[in-house]
Amino acid sequence: MYSVNSSSTPIDRLAKQHEIPTRCNCGQAVSRFTSKTVKNPGRLFHCCPMGSEKDKTHLFKWTDKSVLEEIEDSRTCLTCCLLTILRFKNQWEVVRP
């Protein structure tokens, strides 16, 4: 999911987490919940059982942001795949008699 060097603080490491999280920095598995607040009613989020939105030492991440990161990563991957296919196609056309 992400790599961390030993000099990173827990807050730095949480900021580097990308995509849909499965574990908090503390090692706990994260779960998905539904917000019941007035500000974000019905909004999904991933959270460490030890943390909250205000507790920056444990994971709290809105699910919609995680899904957007997944889509952006998939788009990048798809673009790379398409470029590779085009490269092979061009090479094949050059080699083929």
Q: Could you list the pLDDT tens digit for every one of the 97 residues in the chain?
A: 333 333 444 444 444 566 788 999 889 999 999 999 999 999 999 999 887 667 778 888 899 999 888 888 888 888 888 899 988 888 887 766 6
Inside any domain, residue 23: yes
In a domain, 56, yes or no: yes
Could you give the count of Cα atoms lying within 13 Å of 93 in the half-sphere of its Cβ? Answer: 6
Asked whether residue 3 is domain-assigned, the answer is no
Binning the chain into helix, strand and coil, the percentages to the nearest 5 are 40, 15, 45
Domains of the chain: total: 1
Q: What is the pTM of this model?
A: 0.60
C-alpha to C-alpha distance for 97 and 93, rounded to whole angstroms:
8
Q: Which domain holds residue 37?
A: 10-95
- The DSSP secondary-structure symbol of 91 reads H
What's the number of CA atoms in the CB half-sphere (13 Å) around residue 7? 0
